[in-house]
Amino acid sequence: MNILVSNDDGIFALGMRTLANSLAAAGHRVTVVCPDRERSATGHGLTMDQPIRAEVIESIFKGDIQAWSCSGTPADCVKLALGALMATLPDVVVSGINHGANLGTDVVYSGTVSAAMEGVMEGIPAIAVSLASFTQQSFDPAAEFICDLLADGDRFPLGAPMLLNVNVPAAVEIKGAKITRQGIRRYFDQFEKRIDPRGKTYYWLAGEAIQEIEDPLPNQGWPLELKQSLAAIPTDVQAIRDRYISVTPLQYNLTAVGDLLDLAGGQRPLLPE
């Protein structure tokens, strides 16, 4: 399989190197295009006001892996790889392994997920994979899971371009894997006020995730039957809490379908006729 690997932690990140080396060892043809530095929480940002530079990277990967360091964002990396660096389009884009979870509403900000989503937007199936721990340094179980997933002929190649957002708990905790739906992950944001050497005020965003599990279903404008069916499927946040690998299908179409139908077919149309 021809695989493009990217990330948002940068070209020298251990998680990405573990993933790329594992995929190459499994017999896949691997191309790596990653940011030249950490670009976490950049969302789907693109570089529009300056040139994007790419530099060939050698000697940090095992086997026959072609690798580039890119000056742009994670989405830039995938866009550049597909449009200029790769001779043939990949069968799948894999982004990660991110050091830290990308659960629930994290996916809105995540550079890891955005890199994978860029592949889907170009019609290529994609996987975003994250290690749901900042203290755990073993990326091997996550890399092995992705290799096994890609080797599963019943699941890959996917029938349609789709993004699978995979989160893997710490190695000693894994009970199995579950198909999940996107949950909610809230943060207690803190803005630390500081003074620079010139006496001017600036703010540093900090904070931590709030661990209470909240189900987004009650706030969705979906039919009751759909909500009842989805309620039987755990959220990604719950699966990780229960020490399971979570696999959540995502899409880039953000249309609120339930609300759209209500607004378009309601007794009192939102727009004048």
Q: For 81-192, where are the alpha helices, taking DSSP H only?
A: 106-109, 111-121, 140-151
- Numbered residues of the known binding site: 8-9, 40, 98
Residue 153's pLDDT is 76
Residue 136 pLDDT > 90: no
Q: What is the mean pLDDT of residues 138-166?
A: 88
Residue 9 pLDDT > 70: yes
Residue 189's pLDDT is 73
Name the percent of the chain in helix, strand, coil, to the closest 5. 30, 25, 45
Q: What is the dihedral of CA 116, 117, 122, 125, to 10 degrees?
A: 60
- Numbered residues of the known binding site for a divalent metal cation: 8-9, 40, 98
Residue 101 pLDDT > 70: yes
Residue 266 pLDDT > 90: no
Distances (CA, A) of 38 to 42, 61, 73, 196: 10, 18, 9, 23
* Residue 80 three-state SS: helix
| CATH, residue 77 | 3.40.1210.10
Structurally, how many domains does the chain consist of?
1
Position 221 in a domain: no
The DSSP call for residue 108 is H
Q: Strand pairing partners for 176?
A: 244
Q: Which residues of 27-61 are buried (b: 16+ CB within 10 A; e: fewer)?
A: ebbbbbbbbbebbbebbbeeeeeeebebeebeeeb
Q: What is the mean pLDDT of the chain?
A: 90
Tokens of 231: 């309620």
Distances (CA, A) of 260 to 204, 256, 257: 38, 6, 5
* Residue 219 three-state SS: helix
Position 188 in a domain: no
Q: Give the span between the Cα atoms of 21 and 166, in whole angstroms.
A: 19
- The range of the structural domain enclosing residue 123 comes to 2-180+234-250
CA-wise closest residue to 136 among 22, 14, 38, 239:
14
Summarised one tens digit per residue, pLDDT across range 32-91 is: 999 999 999 899 999 999 999 999 998 889 879 999 999 999 999 999 999 999 999 999
Residue 207's pLDDT is 67
Position 216 in a domain: no
Residue 62's pLDDT is 83
Position 212 in a domain: no
Position 152 in a domain: yes
Residue 122's pLDDT is 95
Rounded to two decimals, the pTM is 0.91
Position 259 in a domain: no
Position 72 in a domain: yes
